[in-house]
Chain A
Amino acid sequence: MGAALKSPLRQSASEEQALEEFHARGWTDGLPVVIPTPERVERMLLAGGLDADLVLGEVGPSYAAASIEKVAVNAVMAGCLPDYFPVVIAAVRAVCEETFDLGVVQSTTHALAPVIIVNGPARAACGIASGWGALGPGHRANASIGRALRLVMTNIGGAQPGVTDMAVLGQPGKFTCCLGEAEELSPYAPLHVSRGLAAEQSAVTVVGVESPHSVIASPDGDDPEGPERIVRVIAGAIANAGSNSTYGGRGTTLVALNPNHARMVARRYATREALQQRLHELAVTPKSLLAQWAGASGRQVKNPASDEVVHAIAAPEKVVIVVAGGEGIYSAVFNTWGGGQHHVLPATREIALNEFCELPADRQAAKTKG
């Protein structure tokens, strides 16, 4: 095996030595990687079922071509099982959409990272967690798929901290950030359906945002205003003093509702669109208050004494809502940046699950838990 691969083959005396070379060359995220031997890369390629030379897009800020083979190398390094590769392919395609502004997402001083949201049958096929701790450790598919995208962004896109990636602090989501939507527990149509795909299709949606900010809401179930109280708390977490969008939102905010909150909120806001509209209305800051913070944000407020408010969500469609997590009193808000030519528009791409070639017999044995 290996003769068909285009990537240059390097020799090392051992995997340990190879790993040290990978670290020394800046090809890792700082954690150990699986060494991408030709055999491992070819198995990944078989799972994608696409020509190794096919280019998925150009990865900013280097704008180097992301060929299937190069992406497979990074998926191996990230620890992906071959079954996950179609999800990685879709995620790379999504971040390479021109309107996602990946070049500046990767170079800004802000702490942006793509959150990968998976919908449809691919969640079960790959074992992608959507429930308790979906964004935390312990979920192999979530961890390695998000990490594969990060390694693509590092090794193909050329993002290196303090050199080309100028994030002042960065954030843990820049290691990996992937979850499934808890469609079965959601009162809303699946996210990918709201973005134009069919329920039986699988898809990834990428949203370029900050790290999650926990939102506590524990209203009395008998309180008729309970749903509205949850929405108001979420809106308050969006329009806060430290968020870029508070000063005039142009980016897209992500809200992750846990299923319990989602069901309560849906009693008043029965559709995603209704909830998006209400969050747009409520996530506002009076100019009089904004004026107290605005100098620190580098922005000025016109007519600071007026009764006007500034919307942190410029339009209802500028907030993406996903249902995920365990049942509880915490949801999360991922605030946003607002820069970039297209203000980092979310992107949704279908996951082609049926393109794979049959792998050797141990394929099933290697499958992760569901």
Chain B
Amino acid sequence: MRDGVFAARKGLPAVAVLTEEFRVQGEFIAKAVGMPGVPRVIIEHPCAGTGSANLERVARELAPRLIAALQEGHS
């Protein structure tokens, strides 16, 4: 979330990607660093170490949600 805010502050289109276990922490960080509305997409947990086939599935499902979040953030 912090990275998403820093990128947005630099004027870059940004969407933070968090796994479900980090949703609450992410909301806290977004508020704490002064950008509670930074676009974010929540994905399943865990992702790390779940194998390339699963990561590919996660990425395929994530891609359209990322694009939608970017479009929403700039509409």
List A residues at the B interface (Cβ < 8 Å). 60-64, 103-104, 107, 158, 163-164, 166, 298
Contacts and interface: CB of A to CB of B under 8 A. Distances in A.
9 contacts: A61-B29, A61-B32, A62-B32, A103-B2, A103-B32, A163-B28, A164-B24, A164-B29, A166-B22
A158 B22 contact: no
A158 B27 CA distance: 13
A164 B28 CA distance: 7
Contacts of B25: 107, 163-164, 166
Contacts of B2: 103-104
B48 A298 contact: yes
Given A103-B2, A104-B2, A298-B48, A62 B28 contact: yes
A296 to B, nearest CB: 9
A349 to B, nearest CB: 23
Contact of A63 (B22, B24, B33, B49): B33
A60 B24 CA distance: 16
A158 B25 CA distance: 10
Contacts of A107: 25, 29
Contacts of B32: 60-64, 103, 158
Nearest to A295: B49
Main secondary structure of the interface of A (DSSP, over half): loop
Nearest to A103: B2
Contact of A158 (B28, B48, B49): B28
A64 B32 CA distance: 8
Contacts of B29: 61, 103, 107, 164
Contacts of B24: 163-164
Of the candidates A60, A63, A104, A107, the one having the most CB atoms from chain B within 10 angstroms of its own CB is A107
Contacts of B28: 61-62, 158, 163-164
Interface string B1-26: 01000000000000000000110110
A62 B33 CA distance: 8
Nearest to B49: A298
A298 B32 CA distance: 29
A64 B31 CA distance: 11
Nearest to B48: A298
A60 B25 CA distance: 12
Contacts of A298: 48-49
A101 to B, nearest CB: 11
A104 B22 CA distance: 14
A298 B49 CA distance: 8
Nearest to A62: B32
Closest 5 CB pairs of A and B: A62-B32, A164-B28, A63-B32, A164-B25, A163-B24
B6 to A, nearest CB: 9
Nearest to B33: A63
B16 to A, nearest CB: 14
A268 B22 CA distance: 49
Nearest to B25: A164
Nearest to A166: B25
Interface string B48-65: 110000000000000000
A163 B22 CA distance: 8
A169 B2 CA distance: 22
B35 to A, nearest CB: 12
A60 B29 CA distance: 9
Given A104-B2, A164-B24, A166-B22, 10 more contacts: A61-B29, A61-B32, A62-B28, A103-B29, A107-B25, A107-B29, A158-B32, A163-B24, A164-B25, A298-B49
A317 to B, nearest CB: 27
| Best-surrounded residue of B24, B29, B33 (most CB of chain A within 10 A) | B29
A293 B22 CA distance: 27
